[in-house]
Structure 1
Amino acid sequence: MSDPFLIGEAMTGGYGRGGPDILHDCTIAVDRGEIAVIVGPNGAGKSTAMKAVFGMLDLRQGQVRLDGQDITGLSPQERVRHGMGFVPQTNNIFTSMTVEENLEMGAFIRDDDISGTMEQVYELFPILRDKRLQAAGELSGGQRQQVAVGRALMTQPKVLMLDEPTAGVSPIVMDELFDRIIEVARTGLPVLMVEQNARQALEIADKGYVLVQGRNAHTGTGKELLADAEVRQSFLGG
């Protein structure tokens, strides 16, 4: 069995060298062209698991591998250069810069022509083309999230990681963002996503991980988890 494209395997750890463990033998993976979602109750360690994969956590056990390479010892900055595009939940845009400047900032690791990638981002998020000269801080919550995702795509990542991309947006905007995320995955780019809207996220997920207290409680396809009576009762409101 070959590895999934990205895997955080048997991760145990927490914040700071002396801090308590938040993750306990937790495994999360995503393959090319897949959408994998991490769901679970508040405080379950969902965002912590994502940050562990991105290198923002001290792992006491386990490892992270990207495209077959062990990257456990790399800093988040080094992981970006290895192909991780990470969109944090908050403070994920430069509010005083224009939309276009934000996208240009996303290409900071590149020294080639970025115009083609910029055009791809504008095709994916047409509203950003219309507002490209506007300060990003003036945009709606959903539009800001599009800027944040677009900026991550400007690095030409090998995998896209989204921490609660629909937090605080309306249901209509959530549906639109999910549609765009599906489009991204269809290009072959793996998408790993933490999401509070569990039911809607599992509906678009190829793979789902339900975490409870930093441990894997349930794992399966999105459809399997939606059909699982225990998952529905405990995490999806029946």
Structure 2
Amino acid sequence: MAEPFLIGDRMTGGYGGADILHGCTVAVDKGEIAVIVGPNGAGKSTAMKAVFGMLDIQSGAVRLNGEDITRLTPQARVAKGMAFVPQTSNIFTSMSVEENLEMGAFLRRDDISGTIEEVYHLFPILKEKRRQAAGELSGGQRQQVAVGRALMTRPTVLMLDEPTAGVSPIVMDELFDRIIEVARTGISILMVEQNARQALEIADKGYVLVQGRNAYTDTGRALLADAEVRRTFLGG
């Protein structure tokens, strides 16, 4: 079998103290959505940050399109086509919506106007509010700015850490719809999500982590149908 487009393979590591990840593997294929779920403290965000190079892993490897990128800095990974949207502090609040998008294209040397229009097509409310300070927007709109800014790099992989944290169920559904649209353009989506049931409904692949280890790995649909997963992690 061909290796996934992006894989964090048997990663062990943490933030310098005791290891948080223990042989953890997460991966995503081209144009697919992979979701990392699990209880609080399971190492979900740590796994995501390890894949993006924000912490050193003691063992294991990260490979993108067959290339070992384990030792690359996060900035070098962005240049390779990875984009990461952290859960908090993910926009410039004093800048306008459009300035935030322009900042997302800082590595590019070509015309970015077409990509800005693509972001506005995906998130029409941002076009309407493009001159407004991003800090004045609602929580859901801020998340749209953060995702839009990441898309300005024209990534092959979009990584989202808790994209629906703190937003209403209606806004969550809308964000998930947009994430599906992004994946349909061929971009691989790897995301950590607290709203596990809803996230698995849109996931091609799901990873349930417990204490930094893979507890269950399957398609989103199969995990939702698994009685043990439902009982233990999804509230029945």
| Structure 1: tracts of 5 or more residues without a match | none
Q: Which residue number corresponds to residue 2 of structure 2?
A: 2
Report matched runs for 1:60-79 at 5 Å: 60-79=58-77
Match of 2:100 among 82, 99, 102: 102
Q: Which residue number corresponds to residue 154 of structure 2?
A: 156
| Structure 2: tracts of 5 or more residues without a match | none
Cα pair 2:204 2:219 within 8 Å, conserved: yes
CA shift, 1:126, in A, is 0.2
Instruction: Write the letter of the residue equivalent to 1:5.
Output: F
| CA distance in structure 2 between the aligned counterparts of 1:188 and 1:112, rounded to whole angstroms | 21
CA shift, 1:140, in A, is 0.2
1:160 match: secondary structure: strand
| CA distance in structure 1 between the aligned counterparts of 2:32 and 2:56, rounded to whole angstroms | 27
CA shift, 1:25, in A, is 0.2
Deviations 1:168-222 (A, max 9, x none): 0000000000000000001111100000000000000000000000000000000
Percent of aligned pairs with the same residue? 83
| CA distance in structure 2 between the aligned counterparts of 1:115 and 1:49, rounded to whole angstroms | 34
| CA distance in structure 1 between the aligned counterparts of 2:221 and 2:159, rounded to whole angstroms | 21
| CA distance in structure 2 between the aligned counterparts of 1:132 and 1:165, rounded to whole angstroms | 21
Q: TM-score of the superposition, structure 2-length normalised? A: 0.99
Instruction: Write the letter of the residue equivalent to 1:161.
Output: M
Matched, 1:13 2:13: yes
Q: Which residue number corresponds to residue 173 of structure 2?
A: 175
Q: Which residue number corresponds to residue 112 of structure 2?
A: 114
Report matched runs for 1:141-220 at 5 Å: 141-220=139-218
Deviations 1:101-125 (A, max 9, x none): 0000000000000001000000000
| CA distance in structure 2 between the aligned counterparts of 1:113 and 1:168, rounded to whole angstroms | 35
Instruction: Write the letter of the residue equivalent to 1:216.
Output: N
| CA distance in structure 2 between the aligned counterparts of 1:181 and 1:4, rounded to whole angstroms | 19
| CA distance in structure 2 between the aligned counterparts of 1:2 and 1:225, rounded to whole angstroms | 23
Q: Which residue number corresponds to residue 37 of structure 1?
A: 35
| CA distance in structure 2 between the aligned counterparts of 1:152 and 1:58, rounded to whole angstroms | 23
Q: TM-score of the superposition, structure 1-length normalised? A: 0.99
| CA distance in structure 2 between the aligned counterparts of 1:154 and 1:79, rounded to whole angstroms | 15
Deviations 1:116-175 (A, max 9, x none): 100000000000000000000000000000000000000000100000000000000000
CA shift, 1:6, in A, is 0.3
Aligned residues: 236
Cα pair 2:156 2:186 within 8 Å, conserved: no
| CA distance in structure 2 between the aligned counterparts of 1:80 and 1:43, rounded to whole angstroms | 27
The runs of at least 4 consecutive aligned structure 1 residues that moved more than 2 Å come to none
Instruction: Write the letter of the residue equivalent to 1:217.
Output: A
1:64 match: secondary structure: strand
1:134 match: secondary structure: coil
1:91 match: secondary structure: coil
Cα pair 2:41 2:211 within 8 Å, conserved: yes
| CA distance in structure 1 between the aligned counterparts of 2:206 and 2:2, rounded to whole angstroms | 20
